[in-house]
Amino acid sequence: MTPAATLAPPTDEPRFSPLLQASFGLHAAALVLPWFVAGAWPWAVGALVANHAVLTAAGLWPRSSLLGPNITRLPAASAARGEVALTIDDGPDPEVTPQVLDLLDRFGARASFFVIGERAAQHPALVAQMLARGHSVQNHSQRHRHHFSLLGPAGFRRELEAAQAQLQALTDERPRFFRAPAGLRNPFLQPVLQRLGLRLTSWTRRGFDTRETDAQRVLARLVDGLAAGDILLLHDGHAARGASGTPVVLEVLPALLERLRAAGLKPVTLPAAFAADAA
């Protein structure tokens, strides 16, 4: 088994991003300035409102790094090897996940499953199958709360720690990557991730397969500009269904894997892509 220390890049980034550090300074100045400059308080309030608008926008932009480090592509060394990452969210699902695993086997592809802790506890055999077939299991929170991005430090800590403990108990491995539900977050998340040794991971492109029922449109979004180093997002949980009633991911995945094969791109797990980079 690969040592845990090599599963992801080192987590020695600053505890707070430059934007957050600037925000702290702005808040301090806004509190102090009105005491020394007459009539400054409207400007101070306006600056704080604008700052909070920027922070909110950054949290609503899943691929943003303004609130802290955020993986949107594989390392350069992985891209040079012609690797891409298939990431599959919101499972495990007892109907869809086994079929996804069979399709991946058919093409010799490896994927990273960002699983929900509660669902993993309900379907431990599927989690075991993911590992047995060479895939990676990563943290997608314990409950996938719709208001996840509104949580504070304690709420984030409970969600992430519970999922970490659940997944480690099932896999004997501690997840090293985390994806926020819907990719949404707020400034309180990064310190919790750093404390737990998790790396926020978004994607290069996604198919919107939880709401798009046309498999061709989903596929088109995923392959538009497809290149080595890309991180692609699909869902085995909460999957939309096409006109035939088939989960869209099951219609998209064979065509996507064919495209990857034709382009000479190799789907690997996130730990595999980052292990050599860290070493």
Q: How many CA atoms lie within 13 A of 66 on its CB side?
A: 20
Q: Angle 153-171/124-132 helices, nearest 10 degrees?
A: 70
Name the DSSP class of 247: B
Distance between CA 174 and CA 212 in Å, rounded?
A: 33
Q: What residues pair up with 89 in beta bridges, in sequence order?
A: 114, 235
According to DSSP, residue 73 is labeled: B
> In whole angstroms, how far apart are CA 149 and each of 62, 167, 204?
11, 22, 21
Copy the structure tokens of residue 145. Answer: 């709360």
Which ranges in the chain belong to alpha helices (H)? 18-36, 41-60, 76-80, 96-107, 117-122, 124-132, 153-171, 189-196, 215-223, 248-262, 270-278
Catalytic residue, from 52, 89, 172, 214: name it. 89
Element (H, E) at 151: none
Return the sign of the alpha-carbon dihedral for residues 67, 13, 139, 271. positive
* 146 labelled catalytic: no
Q: Which one from 93, 123, 235, 236 is the annotated catalytic residue?
A: 235
Which residues 6+ apart lie within 8 Å of 125 measured at CB?
none
d(C-alpha 272, C-alpha 250), whole Å = 25
For residue 224, indicate whether it is catalytic.
no
Please give the angle made by the CA atoms of 8, 267 and 105, to the nearest 5 degrees. Answer: 115
Indicate the helix (H) or strand (E) that contains 261: helix 248-262
Catalytic residues, which ones? Answer: 89, 235
